[in-house]
Amino acid sequence: MEILLILIVIAIFVSVLTGNLGYVLFGMSGFLLLTAGLMVLIFLVCNVLLLTSKWKEAKFVGMDYPTEKSKFLVAFYLVDGEEIPCLFPEEGVFRDRLYREDKTYHVLLNRKLGRVFDRFSVATCILGLFFGILLGGVMIAMYY
């Protein structure tokens, strides 16, 4: 939040000192293009991890922190007798409906990471890559 406030103050100073709002708009669009590029890179790696994972049947066992330093809860699944955490944090909305202990789920297990991709993680990876490419395409189209 403080970084956003600092960026706003810098944008106002640049706008007032130069008398041109174009520099500020160019800087903001460059920042959005950089953000889109990083999004594409992160979700491209996640999609490669998805492609190298194997489908397994799993049973949801609960929510917990994967490590002591973690700030986000993740879903844990029982796969082949072993509790394995999900790669992405749990969905906080409708937790009781989305994660049910009485159902068997199909997850993508990545043995190298020791993590699983549940259906919400798969959707996040695919949609994140799509929206990153879309945002980057829009920003590049705005430059021309």
For residue range 117-130, list pLDDT tens digits in order: 999 899 999 999 99
Give, rounded to a whole angstrom, the gap between the first and last alpha carbons of the chain.
32
Q: What is the mean pLDDT of residues 77-88?
A: 92
Question: Average pLDDT over the chain, rounded to whole?
Answer: 88
- Res. 92: pLDDT tops 80: no
- Res. 97: pLDDT tops 90: no
pLDDT at position 31 is: 85
Percentage of the chain surpassing pLDDT 90?
Answer: 46
Q: Over the stretch 36-60, which tens digit does the pLDDT of each residue have?
A: 999 999 999 999 999 999 999 999 9
Q: Do you know the residue count of the chain?
A: 144
Is-contact 84 114, C-beta < 8 A? yes
pLDDT at position 23 is: 77
* DSSP sequence for 2-56: HHHHHHHHHHHHHHHHHS-THHHHHHHHHHHHHHHHHHHHHHHHHHHHHHT-EEE
Cα 71 to Cα 53: distance, rounded to the nearest angstrom:
26
pLDDT at position 1 is: 67
Name the residue type at position 41. L
Q: What is the mean pLDDT of residues 96-112?
A: 88
How far from 1 is each of 5, 57, 139, CA to CA, in Å?
6, 41, 24
Percentage of the chain surpassing pLDDT 70?
Answer: 99
